[in-house]
Amino acid sequence: MINLLIKNVKIVDPAKNEKTADVQLPVADVLIHEGKITKIGSGLNASGEKTLDGTGKCLMPGFVDLHTHFREPGFEAKETIVTGAHAGLKGGYVASVSMPNTFPPCDHQGVIDNIIRKAKEVPYYIFPSGTISKGREGKELSEMADLKNAGIVAVTDDGDWVGDALLMRRAMEYASMLDLIVMSHCEDRRLSAGGVMNEGLTSTRLGLKGITAASEEIAVARDIELARLTGAHLHLCHLSTARSVELLARAKKEGLRVTAEVTPHHIGVSEEIIEGYNTNAKMYPPLRTNQDIAVLKQALKDGLIDCIATDHAPHTPEDKMCEFDVAPFGVIGLETAFGIVMSELYHAGGWTLGAIAAIMSRNPAVILKKEERFGLIREGIEANLALVDPSLEWTVTSEELRSKSTNSCFIKRKLKGKVLATVCAGQLWEF
């Protein structure tokens, strides 16, 4: 258990200071004893203990990712719970919701038991999600009550949207009874079938099959209506289109229990980078247009979209070393998320540090109902923190990634804002 003193650091606590101007944020010393924040104040001393100088740096609550693919069990060549956790720590994350498209899929308590056992061995918090349907086949409900007892926080069939509206209705009813979040990867696969990138002028120019924005929007609209019908907590995963945001806005205005996330890549890069047929720019939902990006950023600012989630989806170089049409969908994101968010929203978008910390830590913690443990900086709670330099410039290289995979669409990108150290579950990681 770490004993640590962080001196003279700007404290960015989104629970208190989400809207505070950066210059008015408190600068203090933070004392961590046996993994707990014991004192926040000025002139603190701790003889013989490890000390970090926080001058010019910021302390944020450790980040919480609602959408991580750890790939274990089943696809350990891509990522494992251990390597995924270390990728998370490098990115300032302290907790992740793990996605259930493992092999076998997380449709049975035994799989969840296994993930939780392995998660206990890493210095990182993993909250598993289970599948909505057995085998993620969209036919019969998974044993959600059992899965909940085993420790899941949400249900989702992730990459495979539940196409059967009746099954989804039942899933929402059942899940809401169990107080489980229903996460939906909104995409009508019948409509997007065969597509590999956003449908539009760029797909026409590149001769690649398009995925129409409507395939997402139809799914968003249906799931919102089912959330209205059932009262379930619907969490919309990785929204990517302007029209999805409009549908979300209407649902929120009506007071429905709907929350939403956006990925760093969907606000950080447009479909145009597919020029050259780079398979590391291929993911679900596909990269969209600059117009969509502008709307997504504004929706984050307005609080319509609640948080950033990485959709960290590792694939080996061999998986991606092929023709664009046959390459698997997905990019990694844990280690670059903060840099992208800072570059795009803080430096280029004029956000406050408090608002950045809110979308990275506080808001996802609230969605998980874990806001007493995560997403805040308080005396008396376990130290789960990210020490960051908001203005440090760095370049993303595949050599420095801790993830087992290097399928990032941000390789060679210059970013401004970097995680220097993460404190999680009583341990300190310096980068």
Partner 1 sequence: MSEFRWHRKDLLGLRTLEAVEIRHILDTAKSFQDVSLRSVKKVPALRGKTVANLFLEPSTRTRVSFELAEKRLSADTIQIQKTGSSMVKGETLKDMCRNIESLKVDLVVMRHSFSGAPFRLARHLKASVINAGDGINEHPTQALLDMFTVLEKKGKIEGLNITFIGDILHSRVARSNIWGLTKLGANVTVCGPKTLIPVGIEKLGVRVTYDLNEAVEQADVINLLRIQLERQSESFFPSIREYATAYQINKNVLKRAKSDVVIMHPGPVNRGIEITSDVVDGPYSVILDQVTNGIAVRMAVLFLLCGTAGTETEE
234 lines the binding site for partner 1 (CB under 8 A) = no
- The nearest distance, CB 324 to partner 1, in angstroms, is 5
Q: Which stretch binds partner 1 (CB under 8 A): 208-216, 236-244, 252-260, 390-398?
A: 208-216
Q: Which is nearer to partner 1, 196 or 358 (CB)?
A: 196
* Three state DSSP letters for the chain: CCCEEEEEEEECCHHHHCCCCHHHCCEEEEEEECCEEEEEECCCCCCCCEEEECCCCEEEECEEEEEECCCCCCCCCCCCHHHHHHHHHHCCEEEEEECCCCCCCCCCHHHHHHHHHHHHCCCCEEEEEECCEHHHCCCCECCHHHHHHHCCCEECCCCCCCCCHHHHHHHHHHHHHCCCEEEECCCCHHHHCCCCEECCHHHHHHCCCEECHHHHHHHHHHHHHHHHHHCCCEEECCCCCHHHHHHHHHHHHCCCCEEEEECHHHHHCCHHHHCCCCHHHCCCCCCCCHHHHHHHHHHHHCCCCCEECCCECCCCHHHHCCCCCCCCCCECCCCCHHHHHHHHHHHCCCCCHHHHHHHHHHHHHHHCCCCCCCCCCCCCCECCEEEEEEEEEEECCHHHCCCCCCCCCCCCCEEEEEEEEEEECCEEEEC
Tokens encoding 166: 């009746």
List the catalytic residue out of 113, 311, 325, 389: 311
How near is the Cβ of 207 to partner 1 at its closest, in Å?
3
Could you give the CA distance from residue 239 to residue 226 in angstroms, rounded to a whole number? 18
Residue from the set 208, 283, 331, 385 that interacts with partner 1 by CB under 8 A: 208
216 scored as a contact of partner 1 (CB under 8 A)? no
Quick note: the x/- pattern for partner 1 over 275-294, rule CB under 8 A, is -xx-----------------
Q: Which of 132, 147, 175, 206 binds partner 1 (CB under 8 A)?
A: 206
With binding defined as CB under 8 A, does residue 213 bind partner 1?
no
Q: How far is the CB of 203 from partner 1 (least distance, A)?
A: 7
Q: CA 176, CA 190: separation in Å to the nearest integer? A: 27
Q: Report in angstroms how near the CB of residue 349 gets to partner 1 at its nearest.
A: 28
Among the listed ranges 162-170, 319-327, 329-337, 372-380, the one in contact with partner 1 (CB under 8 A) is 319-327
User: In this chain, which of 101, 114, 156, 203 binds partner 1, going by CB under 8 A?
Assistant: 203
Nearest approach, Cβ of residue 189 and partner 1 (Å):
15
From 323, 350, 399, 412, residue interacting with partner 1 (rule: CB under 8 A): 323
Angle at 126 between CA 117 and CA 62, to 5 degrees: 140
d(CA 169, CA 185): 15
Phi, psi at residue 367, to the nearest 5°?
-60, -40
User: Is residue 215 near partner 1 by the rule CB under 8 A?
Assistant: no
Joined tokens for residue 252? 């929120």
Please say which residue, 166 or 326, places its beta carbon nearer to partner 1.
Answer: 326
User: Residues touching partner 1: how many (CB under 8 A)?
Assistant: 21
Q: Which is nearer to partner 1, 189 or 301 (CB)?
A: 189
Does position 322 interact with partner 1 (CB under 8 A)? The reply is yes
Q: Which of 174, 284, 324, 338 binds partner 1 (CB under 8 A)?
A: 324
The interface with partner 1 within residues 183-202 (CB under 8 A) comprises 199-201
210 touches partner 1 by CB under 8 A? yes
Asked if 399 touches partner 1 (CB under 8 A), the answer is no
205 makes contact with partner 1 (CB under 8 A): yes
329 is a site residue for partner 1 (CB under 8 A): no
- Give the nearest distance from C-beta 201 to partner 1 in angstroms: 3
Residues shown for the chain? 431
The residue within the footprint of partner 1, chosen from 34, 113, 325, 400 (CB under 8 A), is: 325
Active site residue 311: yes
Tell the smallest beta-carbon distance from residue 202 to partner 1 (Å).
Answer: 8
CB of 272 to partner 1, least distance (A): 14
Catalytically annotated residues: 311
Footprint of partner 1 on this chain (CB under 8 A)?
199-201, 203-210, 212, 276-277, 318, 321-326
